[in-house]
Amino acid sequence: MLLRLLATVCFVWALGVPAFAQDAPTEPPSAQEQEARALFEAGRAAFNDGRFEDSLGYFRQSYELSGRPELLFNIGTSADRLRLNQEALDAFERYLAALPDAPNRREVEGRIRVLRRAMVATPEEAARTETAEPAPSVIVVQDDDTVFETWWFWTLTGTAVAGAIIAVILLTSDTDPQYMLGDDGDTHLTLVGP
């Protein structure tokens, strides 16, 4: 019984854990990849400083060198901050086409809807639309982050492990719970282990 329960808990837990990301490359990065990485870092720094024109230029250059689709999101976000609606729209659409399973797909689709409405709306309507769904503010990091580097993964894992341990203890306990009357007159439940 205990073995079957433990196997079921492990199987259910394993279903929720995505596979590892690509293995790390065994070759050192080429000069072109290093330059693309440096441009990405410069773009991220410029974006964080609010220098969106600079960040847009850096992200464009990095994308030209590396072709990494994540940079299309960064290009779209920088262009969106500059109100370059058509460029932002094009970049976001190309991003979703290149990464159909993007983790921020819903957010990007929402921003695409806002940009499309803003491009056909009057200036007054566009101003109202802009406040409805704000521009994305998170830049996708160029590195291939895994789910194991996120806080929510470890929170869920810890919760699942704690729940499994409590379930095993409760299910393997051979004794019935004992009820005792406390000093304050309340009834207290005491579980006694084997």
Alpha-carbon gap, residue 89 to 79, rounded angstroms: 9
- DSSP reduced 3-state for 142: coil
pLDDT per position as a tens digit, 29-42: 888 999 999 999 99
Which of the two residues, 151 and 9, has the higher pLDDT score? 151
- Give the per-residue pLDDT at 120: 82
Same domain, 139 and 86: yes
Cα 180 from Cα 170, distance rounded (Å): 19
Q: Is 130 within a domain?
A: yes
Per DSSP, what are the bridge partners of residue 187?
181
Q: Which residue has the higher pLDDT, 60 or 25?
A: 60
Tell me the longest C-alpha to C-alpha distance in the chain: 76
3-state secondary structure of 178: strand
Percent of the chain with pLDDT over 90: 43
Range of the domain at 141: 2-17+27-145
CATH number at 77 reads: 1.25.40.10
Q: How many domains does the chain have?
A: 2
CA 138, CA 104: separation in Å to the nearest integer? 10
| pLDDT tens per residue across span 99-123 | 999 999 999 999 999 999 988 866 6
Residue 22 forms part of a structural domain: no
Scanning 67-179, the segments in alpha helix (DSSP H) are: 70-81, 85-98, 105-120, 123-132, 151-172
How confident is the model over 40-96, as pLDDT tens digits? 999 999 999 999 999 999 999 999 999 999 999 999 999 999 999 999 999 999 999
Task: Name the average pLDDT for the chain.
Answer: 75
